[in-house]
Every structure is written in C-alpha cells, then in structure tokens.
Amino acid sequence: MKYGDFDQANREYVITRPDTPEPWRNYLGNGAYRATVSNAGGGYSFDGDAFLKRVLRERPRSLPDDRPGRYLYLRDRETADVWSPTWQPVGADLERYECRHGMGYTTIRSARGGLAAEVTYFIPVDEHLEIWLLTVENEGKKARSIDLFTYAEFALWGVLKDLMNQQASKYVGVVRCADGVIFHETRTDSGPPKGDEVFVLRRAYFGCGRTPESFDVQRAEFVGPWRDEGNPIAVERGRCSNNQYFGYDPVACLHLPLELKPGQAETIVFVLGVDDEGTVWREKLDHYTRPEQARAALDAVKAYWDDHLRRLHVDTPHSGMNAVVNAWNPYQGVNTFLTPRGYRDTSQDVLGIMHMRPEEVRQRLRILLAHEFQSGVTTHDYSFEEDFALEAGGTRIFGDGDVVSLSGGATIEEQLGSPSSDASLWVIPAVCAYVRETGDFDFLKQPIRFFDGGAADAVEHMRRILDKTWERRGLHGLPLMREMDWNDCLNFPEGSVSVWVGMEFVWASRELAALLRRPEVGGDPSGVEARAEEMARNLNEHAWDGGWYARAFFADGEPIGASSCEKNQIDHMPQSWSVMTGVAPQERALSAMDAVRQRLFTPYGIALIDPPHDEYIPRYGSLSVFPASLKENGGIFNHPNNWAIIAECLLGRGDRAWEYYHAFLPSTKNEIADTHRMEPYIFSQFVAGPYHPLHGRAGRAWMTGTATWALVAASQYILGLRPDYDGLRIDPCIPTDWEGFRATRIFRGATYEVEVVNPKHVSKGVKEVRVNGKPIEGNLLPLAAAGETVEVHVTMGAA
Ligand code: GLC
C-alpha cells in the first residue's frame, strides 16, 4: 500500500491516507521552541531542552503511538456529529484527507459532511510559541452551527519528572482561564536554579483572540471518566465544564461556536507559547492571532528553510535521491543537530549541515571543546552552554536531564568523563571539516576553556584528546575498549581493546596532521603522524583475520568479529573504516569490502554483524541482549551504511556504492511502506535484519546520526562535491548507467553551478574540468569571490 508521495516542487511529503502503518511525523521549529506533529495531529512540544523543558506532553508508548496532540473537534449542533480535522483523535471517516509535511510546517486538509477544514501547525522563526492556523469552511448549501473544541495537554516540567515523580508532577500545575486565555504555570526543579530559587517558575499560555463559549483547564473535566481523547465528554455534551482548580492535569480546551453560511469560511489562529516572565503573552497573542500575521509568519518559515536548502541543490537521474537530498535529508540533519544527544552524536551532527549553519556549528564546536578536561578526557553528556550550569550546591546539569552530584570522593573528571573509548575523538574531524567548509582558520586561534579551568586553542584541545587515547592502549597497542565504543552495546570485560577505535584514532590523527601542515596553522604534524602510522601497523599486524578485519579483542587475545567466533564472525565497522582511513592496503580493502557485500548486505541495507547472537552471554555485553537482527545485534543499523558507501566511493566502485545508498534511501520505502512502516522521507536508526521475521521493518525514526552522514555520503562522495582547504573538489563516484548530473553548491559565499557528464559511463575519474569555459588542471575548483557564480563543466572518464 502506498500512503503518500513527494511533492518536490514544494519540498513536501504528501500523505493521502491517514491510516499510515505508524504515525508519520514532522519536526517543527528552527531553534529553541520545537515540536513534533504526526499526520494525525499527535505530537508534543518543548522549549529549548527536550528533556528538561517540555511544553506539551508526550505519553510514551501510548496507543496510538502519537498521543496526545494538538487536537481539534468539530461538532454539528444539530446532528451532534463529531469529527477531527486531523482524523485523530476522533477517527471518524473523512471524505477527503491530505497531510502535507513541509519544511517547518505541517498542513492537514480534510472534509466531512459538507464541512472542510485546513489546519497548519508551525513555529514562527525564533519565537517561543507555536501556531495552529485553522480554517473551517461550509461547503454545503445550508447554514451550519458548529461547536469547535481544542485540546492540548501541558507538562511544563522535565520528562523524567513527568514519568517518575508523578506524586509531585500530578499536583504542582497551576492553570486558569481568564478573558478567554488559558494560563498554565508551574514551579519546577527540572532545570537549573535561578539564584536561590531551586523551583523556577515556568509559564505557558494558549489563546485565539476570541472569547470562548466555555472552557476546560483540567483533563479529567474535559475527557470524563473511562474515556479518552477520542470521545471526550465535553465534546459529546457540546459544552465544557468551566470548572477551574489547580493541580492535576492541566489542559488547554477552548470551546468556540462557529456560525457558517453556505460557502462561508472562518479562520481562527490558536497560539500556544511560553512566557516565563509573563511579559510577552499579550503582545504575541494580539499579533499572531490575526490571520494575515500568522500567514506572514508561515511565509517567513518557508523563506528561512529556502535559504538553508538553496546551498546544495542536486538534479540527478534518480528522483527519489533528489527528493531526499534537496529537502528531507538536510532538514532531518538540522533537526538532529538541534537535538544534542551526547558528545559522540553531537560531534557528528555538525558534519552534514555546516554549509547551512556555519555560525552555529562554530559555536557548537567551541562548546564541545569546552567539555574537555585539561587531561584530554571529554564529558559523555553535553550541555547547551559553554559556561555550564555550575551552582553553589555542587551540581552540574546536563542536557539530557542528568543531575550529577559533585559531592563525594571521586573527581569531577571521574564522574563526568566519558566511559566510552571513541566519543572524544569525533570532535577532531568535525573541527577540520568546519575549517575546510568555511576557511575559518581564525577559529583555531581563539582560546577555548577546559571544563576544569584554564584555556587553550582548538589545536591544543585536539592534541590532548589524541594523547589521551594513545595513553589508554592495551593489547597489541590498540585502544582499550573501556565501557563501549561507537557501538554502545559492545560492553566487554576490562582490558578488551577496540580495533575500530584504532581506526578512528588513525582518521582523527591524519585529519589533524593535515590541518597542522597548513601554512595558516604552521604546526608540526610529525608526532601525530608517527602515532597514526604505528597504530595502522598494529591494526594490520594483529587485526587482519584473513578475509576481513576483526572488530575487537578480549584481554586474553580472543578476537570478536572474526571467522573463528561462533557468533558475530564479521562486524561491518572495521571493514568500511579500514578503507575510509587508509589503514587497509588495496588488496585487503577490496577483500574486506567484498566480505561486507557477501556476509552483511541485504535488500534493505547492511547488517551490523553476522551472525547475530541468540542468547545473552555476559562477556559480549548488552549486544547479546537484543533479539537477533534488531538494533546493534545484527540489525541493519543505518548510520554505518554511510561508511560503506564512502568506502566504496573511495575504491571507485560506484555501482556498489549506489546499491548501498539505494537500499537505505528513504524514498525507496515508499512502495514498501507496510514492510518498512516508518516515514519514507527520513532515515530511521535501524531496520530489522534477516534473522528477524519482520526483516525490513524500521525502528526509531528521526533522531539518528544517519542523517548527517547520509548527506556527507551522497553529496561529498557519490556526487563528489567535497570541500577542501583550498577550494571545492569535484570527485564523483556514480553508477555507471548515469549520464551525469547537475548540482548547485554554495561554498564560501560563491555559487558553483556544476554540470557533470559521463559519456563513457564510468563510475569514477574526471577527464576534464572547465571553469567558466576554461579548462583547469586537476579537479580542485579554485576559490571564487563571495557572491560570484562559477560555471563548472565536468567530463568524467579516464584522466
Ligand atoms: C545510537 C547512539 C549512538 C551510537 C549508536 C550505536 O544511535 O545514539 O551514539 O553510536 O546507537 O550504538
């Protein structure tokens, strides 16, 4: 069954059946205030920190999975017929339905019984509020009297508090309706204290600039006992209770009468915002509840995303790739970037999106480096600010809601330092990529503080991270695995070493060495390079298993991810990384990547390991806890699929790189939506592998490092538009049946209009590059002045 398709001209995904296999969501917002919204109106909001500062509630694992949401009910006063313009929560049959998920907004249009409704949910650029722009139209021949009801469920406190401390969170909310506006406030200790106030005041408001006929501020009053959002008592009755009291479950329910003559339409704008100081709500309501202002704000949201997306635009022979690369992939990438998820993921998140948000990436890199101790250890968690929330009480508060006590014997570093072996290294290639994208060498000269005081420049920060990994080596001179590496679930006994982290170390070292060699930096790369060489030697001497690289070793030398193992005989990660980092000599590189194709590739992408574990064995860690073929235990983990694409591009095997890209490309899931189940416009974290009966079913949509890397793999390796220190390099590796492609890339302010032709149907190799009509030597486009447009014509073939 097909549930929708791409509208590429409008950068939308259009869902035409509401009963998608799972709720298909969009993320809204560009900065602090953000929200999710499903194709059935479900979803929640948060202001700044997704864990600590929820605005609307998410009810995890609810039925359906997207409850509650921003609900609307239309009730005919004559017939008492009730329906929801977003289909859910009432679920009444609709005569028309269409949901357009777009860049920064979602519009749902529907009709039933002669009434048509259109609601657009969005968050104006840089505002701390969300808008529900609703139009109801009488399409029939007789006048209609309609009751309109709204529903939204507040939770102005941290997620953990909402879930775990219900005896408190259930009774602390204060909510009232005054002059048609619903105000909710609460004092919460979920976030950092303010002066001596541990319980800080948070406030939200909801209004539409009209006086409601009735209202409810308590969930129990609106919904009634033994009912749910689908059949609230207030809607059935046609009237809310007007009962006001504090505590319990604050909601925003307004009841508005609509009198619609035949052909008449009415537009109502609901505004839901946060206003902790209590100073802006009136002005915001006055402004945005005017439909023309709301529409202008919606246009501004579209213009905002246009400005992001025009920086890379591709026109390839594959329409699904175009749909993903020109809109949804960068959009998902920005959304993951806006949602910090620990040091490791956050460092990677910048990679695919820095051409759209260079200033914020600069800032983010500073923050990441400032989470490094003088010793070179970085924290595992991550706070939004460079100057952390360190208070008198001796606590530091991190973005994921953990409050770590600094009292007790252990050092801060022991308490907060990352237990993983890989996390800190990721920031090094991220810094180098940023400088290649922007040419901002000045970044490297600014002092950045250490977490435990003092400051140094970025190069010194990076050196210390490498030093720390070097210091923490074990068997075969390879990095100690510690509690995990990129794979969270490789939790091996003490003394185990990670082959893959050895490769990551080589990569980070070589990236830093190349930066040090730059005249703008003028550093000495020799020490860094020598260590990289030694590590690469160790890897080749000890980790080569005959056909591929082993993944890790226990302290006694027993390998993991090797042919002698009973389970997990091959792990994808070190194969692709041996190529990406240049560790593997050519013959080994080809052998390792062929093994990936033979042992791990499925029609839905590359499984992480094979065969997966089928029972828990303590020394294999939490990997062996998952059922076979799910998640890290041999699931098709999408994030590393990008590394196989990059590796195959580096080997020049464009057909195979494309085969891998095509297998996990979201748009290819459109036709198999009932198998894949999750959104066919964004990457999910994993897909069930071949040992699971639901092989092909996606898990965990949206928040995954896959997004940022997929844009790197597609744009920099398949299409080969690769930022370099001295210019933009053109090095495509495409399927042989492509005639070529076009791309527009804005790089350091200049616009490169690139046309690639492939008359000989090769995968790789650039025969000639013409810049503004004139041939150049090599494939590095020289830097052009900001504002200039550069015409680039590339002919592929043997050089
Ligand atoms: C999740 C984590 C990420 C980790 C990956 C593999 O995506 O967020 O940090 O690398 O799983 O375990």
pLDDT tens for residues 229-259? 999 999 999 999 999 999 999 999 999 999 9
Cβ-Cβ contacts under 8 Å for 500 (sequence gap 6 or more):
422, 485, 486, 487, 551, 552, 571, 573, 574, 577
**Closest residue CA from atom 8 of ligand 1:** 345
Q: Which residues of 367-388 are buried (b: 16+ CB within 10 A; e: fewer)?
A: bbbbbbbbbbbbbbbbbeeeeb
The H-assigned helical ranges of 291-341 are 291-309, 319-323, 329-337
Find the 709 Cα to ligand 1 centroid distance in Å: 13
Eight-class DSSP state of 614: -
Site of tokens 């609460």? 186
What is the C-alpha separation between 276 and 403, in angstroms, rounded?
22
pLDDT digits (tens, 9 = 90+) for 733-784: 999 999 999 999 999 999 999 999 999 999 999 999 999 999 999 999 999 9
Question: Is the shortest distance between the CB of 287 and ligand 1 below 6 Å?
Answer: no
User: Residue 410 pairs with which residues in a beta bridge?
Assistant: none
Find the 486 Cα to ligand 1 centroid distance in Å: 6
Integer angstrom CA distances of residue 677 from 41, 201, 223? 18, 41, 31
Find the 598 Cα to ligand 1 centroid distance in Å: 25
pLDDT digits (tens, 9 = 90+) for 625-648: 999 999 999 999 999 999 999 999
Exposed, middle or buried, 445 (CB in 10 Å: 0-12/13-18/19+)? exposed
Lowest pLDDT segment from 161-170, 435-444, 542-551: 161-170
Question: Is the shortest distance between the CB of 418 and ligand 1 below 6 Å?
Answer: no
Question: Is the shortest distance between the CB of 57 and ligand 1 below 6 Å?
Answer: no
Ligand 1 pocket check: which of 486, 631, 702 to mutate, most ligand atoms within 8 Å of Cβ?
A: 486
Ligand 1 pocket check: which of 341, 345, 491 to mutate, most ligand atoms within 8 Å of Cβ?
A: 345
Question: Is the shortest distance between the CB of 504 and ligand 1 below 6 Å?
Answer: no
Note whether 680 and 608 are within 8 A (CB). no
**Closest residue CA from atom 7 of ligand 1:** 704
pLDDT digits (tens, 9 = 90+) for 102-131: 999 999 999 999 999 999 999 999 999 999
Note whether 241 and 214 are within 8 A (CB). yes
| Token pair in block for residue 231 | 């059949």
Q: Where are the beta strands (DSSP E) in 629-725?
A: 636-637, 684-687, 698-701, 721-724
pTM (2 d.p.): 0.97
**CA 402 to chain CA mean position, Å:** 21
Ligand 1 atom nearest residue 637's Cα:
6
Is the pLDDT score of 379 beyond 60? Answer: yes
The confidence band for 391, taking pLDDT boundaries of 50, 70 and 90, is: very low
Ligand 1 atom nearest residue 341's Cα:
8
Nearest to 552 by CA among 499, 503, 596: 499
Instruction: Provide φ and ψ at 358, rounded to 5°.
Output: -60, -40
Ligand 1 atom nearest residue 487's Cα:
12
> Can you give the pLDDT at residue 660?
98
What is the C-alpha separation between 250 and 297, in angstroms, rounded?
28
What do you get for the CA distance between the two ends of the chain, in Å?
47
- The catalytic position among 467, 488, 614, 724 is 488
Share of the chain above pLDDT 90, in %: 90
What is the C-alpha separation between 481 and 118, in angstroms, rounded?
54
What is the C-alpha separation between 389 and 217, in angstroms, rounded?
34
> Can you give the pLDDT at residue 406?
56
Ligand 1 pocket check: which of 639, 641, 684, 704 to mutate, most ligand atoms within 8 Å of Cβ?
A: 639
| 770 residue type, one letter | R
Question: Is the shortest distance between the CB of 488 and ligand 1 below 6 Å?
Answer: yes
The confidence band for 403, taking pLDDT boundaries of 50, 70 and 90, is: low
Q: Is 196 among the residues known to form the active site?
A: no
Nearest to 245 by CA among 219, 265, 226: 219
Question: Is the shortest distance between the CB of 572 and ligand 1 below 6 Å?
Answer: no
**Closest residue CA from atom 9 of ligand 1:** 345
